[in-house]
Amino acid sequence: MNTKIILAVCLIFSMLTGCTGVEMTKAAGQEAENKTAGNSVSGNVVVSFINVGQAESILIQSYDGKNMLIDAGETIDNAVIDYLNGAGVKKLDVVIATHPHSDHISDMANVIKNYEIGTFYMPDVTHTSKTFEKMVSALEDKNVNVEEAKNGIDVPFSENVKCRMVAPCSKFYDDLNNYSAVLRMEYGDTSFLFTGDAEEQSEREILASGEDISADVLNVGHHGSSSSTSERFLEKVAPSIAVISCGINNDYGHPHKETIQKLNERGITTYITRDEDKAVILKSDGEKIYKENELIVQKGNSGEESDIESKISDKKEDRAVSAADGEFIGNVNTKKLHSSDCTKLPNENNRVYFKTVQDGINEGYVPHSCIKNN
């Protein structure tokens, strides 16, 4: 990288740290008008994992009209800009460039030029690419407030949405992927973990740091590469839902079969951006998480057994059977009924077993496509 860019990056950090199709996403901003002051949960938070091919970009919209963008994918058909415009975004209160690889920041300069930016976070590392230079120049031109992305900092976003950076934990890495900013977001009883391209070295450091990384939804690291999502890390996060950002027939073979196997073995429901027209869209009301209108996660209140868990306990006295005897598996959260060989089985603690499909239907379960297609 030339001296001018290096000095520019250093100046930005110095100034800040020392001297002075998308109807569902639109709804997140509109709900600001109905916000109830003082409530710990006041509306919906919508997370869109945008389909940007073999790249990554995530838009988070809060009930109070606040917007956060994590990465900006590749510059392909203006996918990021078009999605933001379609979601009604006028201002990005928080922007995070997880690390300098082009598949995460390629369209970032255009984002900076086209939107008002509140605070911009990036790790303290430079890169020689033209993409990185354009991003830094755009930040300079608009005098954007830039902060260092690092372990242990809280990221102000929305009043009742807690965001904390848990990585990077070190100042120097051999691999740029391990500089990735990793963010945990908590809203009510629900939580998300966004990991960029953090690999196993970063995951080990996060575990050693003692940070809370438990999450209902895991943004799977490095597009589902086997270099990320280590066993111990996945056990600690313990997600019910995983989302992978990758393109169709990509040159890297993402997601790798080893990663998919780990997710399947734990019954984690997995969504991949390449399978969606525009985005994988998840909505949290602080207690439940939906994909489109389908309930995919429901949490209990104050550590007590949730209503849905109580109902399932009652049902187990009727038609439900033991795991050994059950050929069909119901998902307590989604009320979907799966065959035992389905690739989208729920976590063990979210399962109820039935001998026949009709038994599950009688208890209010809807057959999943894996059964319909049999």
The answer to whether the peptide bond before residue 367 is cis (omega within 30 degrees of 0) is no
Closest-CA residue to 68 (of 29, 50, 94): 94
**DSSP symbol at 19:** I
Other CB atoms within 10 Å distance of the CB of residue 298: 22
CA dist., res. 197 & res. 178, Å (int)? 7
Residue type for position 170: S
Could you tell me which CATH number the domain at 3-291 has? 3.60.15.10
Burial class (CB in 10 A: 0-12, 13-18, 19+), 210: exposed
Burial class (CB in 10 A: 0-12, 13-18, 19+), 367: middle
pTM above 0.85, yes or no: no
Residues of the chain with CATH 3.40.10: 305-372
| Residues across the chain | 374
Radius of gyration for the alpha carbons in the chain, expressed in angstroms and rounded? 21
Q: What is the dihedral of CA 84, 89, 94, 98, to 10 degrees?
A: 0
pLDDT at residue number 42 = 73
Q: Which residues are 337's β-sheet partners?
A: 330, 367
Residue type for position 182: V
Phi/psi of residue 239, nearest 5 degrees: -80, 160
pLDDT at residue number 4 = 43
pLDDT at residue number 188 = 95
User: What are the tokens at 88?
Assistant: 């009604």
Phi/psi of residue 366, nearest 5 degrees: -105, 125
Residue by residue, pLDDT tens for the chain (374 residues) are: 443 444 445 554 544 444 334 444 554 544 443 333 333 577 999 999 999 999 999 999 999 999 999 999 987 778 999 999 999 999 999 999 999 999 999 999 999 999 999 999 999 999 999 999 999 999 999 999 999 999 999 999 999 999 999 999 999 999 999 999 999 999 999 999 999 999 999 999 999 999 999 999 999 999 999 999 999 999 999 999 999 999 888 888 889 999 999 999 898 999 999 998 899 999 999 999 999 888 999 886 544 434 444 444 443 435 676 766 788 898 776 778 888 888 777 767 678 899 899 888 888 888 888 886 65
Question: Between 130-141 and 3-14, two packed helices, what is the crossing angle to 10 degrees?
Answer: 50
pLDDT at residue number 19 = 38
Closest-CA residue to 54 (of 224, 258, 200, 261): 224
Residues of the chain with CATH 3.60.15.10: 3-291
305-372 under CATH 3.40.10, yes or no: yes
Query: Which residue spans within the chain are E strands per DSSP?
Result: 45-50, 58-61, 67-70, 91-96, 116-122, 145-148, 153-154, 161-167, 182-187, 190-194, 217-219, 241-244, 269-272, 279-284, 288-291, 294-298, 328-331, 336-339, 351-354, 366-367
